[in-house]
Amino acid sequence: MVLPILVAAAFLFSLTALAVRLRPALALRKPDFSRPRGSAAAGVAYAYSIGMLPWTKQSGREHALAYVRGALFHVGIFLSFAVLALTLTPWLAGFPAGQRTGVALFLAVTCLAGLLGLWDRFRQRNLRALSVPEDYTAIVVVAAFVGLAAAAVRWPGLTGLFQAWSAWLLLYLPFSKLRHVWFFFFMRYFYGSHFGHRGVLPHPRMLEAR
């Protein structure tokens, strides 16, 4: 019973700390006084949909493997949070063993994708130059979180360890670059509304823009 309370407390701490960090961003943007050429709303819709597809941008086309690896890792992270929520309920034990093994295997693959990212950070010159020590630990902390989620799904006896690690992750998150999990959504909003307002993304036909 102690561990679920610890997880809940860590979650509340994380949320509060991020809200403080995010406070200026929560004000959303100042009004844009320039006359629009496109639509800010369309830009936001684009930023959260088509604009996230890897082939719509050079980085996605030239780093397709890294993109797929990163996407897979992030799917695993979100799934692990779902698993964490389920461990706080009696429902997880009710899933059939076959399904649990399948989910555990998938999570293990996503964990591997995260560790490959760590390998890239050691291996590639640009990434080494860009990285700070926290970049490495952040990946380790999250990859361990996903790996332990996989283990807890397959072997329920490890649930306590998974919950304890999750609490640590949630406490660490606001101080780490992991807070991009929140800023990502704000960033895409600002990006979309800015370039949408100017008619760059999505780009309206010439006559519509007049």
Partner 1 sequence: MSVQGLSPHGLNLKQFSQEFRAKTGPALLSSLDACVRCGVCAESCHYYQADPRPEHVPAYRAEAVRRILRTQDPWTRWFPGWFGAEPRRGRSDEEMLRALGDVIFGTCTQCRRCTLSCPMGVDTGTIVRTARGVLARHGLIPEGLKATVDAHLKTGNNMAVSREDFLDTLQWMEEQLQSDTGDPQARIPVNKQGARVLYTLNPREVKYFPLTILAAAKILYAAQEDWTFSTEAWDGTNYGLFSGEDDKAAEIARRLEAEAVRLGVQEVVMTECGHGYRSFRWEGPNWLGHPYPFRVRSFVELMAEYLDSGRIKLNPAANSLPVTYHDPCNLARNGGIIEEPRFLLSRAVREFREMTPNGKDNYCCGGGGGMLAMTEYSQRRLQAGQAKARQIAASGARVVVTSCHNCVDQLNELNRHYQLKVKVHNLCEIVADALVLAKAQRPAASGAAAQDA
Sign of the alpha-carbon dihedral angle for 95, 98, 101, 107:
negative
Q: Nearest Cα to 172, choosing from 185, 159, 181, 160?
A: 181
Residues 12 and 60: their CA atoms lie apart, in Å, by 35
38 scored as a contact of partner 1 (CB under 8 A): yes
Of 1, 2, 33, 97, the one binding partner 1 by CB under 8 A: 33
Question: How far from 141 is each of 65, 85, 177, CA to CA, in Å?
Answer: 22, 18, 12
User: Taking CB under 8 A as the rule, which mask of x and - marks residues 42-61 in contact with partner 1?
Assistant: -----x----x----xxxx-
34 scored as a contact of partner 1 (CB under 8 A): yes
Closer of 36 and 93 to partner 1 (Cβ): 36
C-beta of residue 198 within 8 angstroms of C-beta of residue 40: no
Residues 78 and 73: their CA atoms lie apart, in Å, by 9
Closer of 144 and 179 to partner 1 (Cβ): 179
Which of these segments, 4-12, 97-105, 152-160, 172-180, binds partner 1 (CB under 8 A)?
172-180
- Residue type for position 142: V
Residues that bind partner 1 (CB under 8 A): 21, 24-30, 32-35, 37-38, 47, 52, 57-60, 62-63, 66-67, 70, 124-135, 137, 174-175, 177, 179-180, 183-184, 186-188, 190-192, 194-195, 198-201, 203-207, 209-210
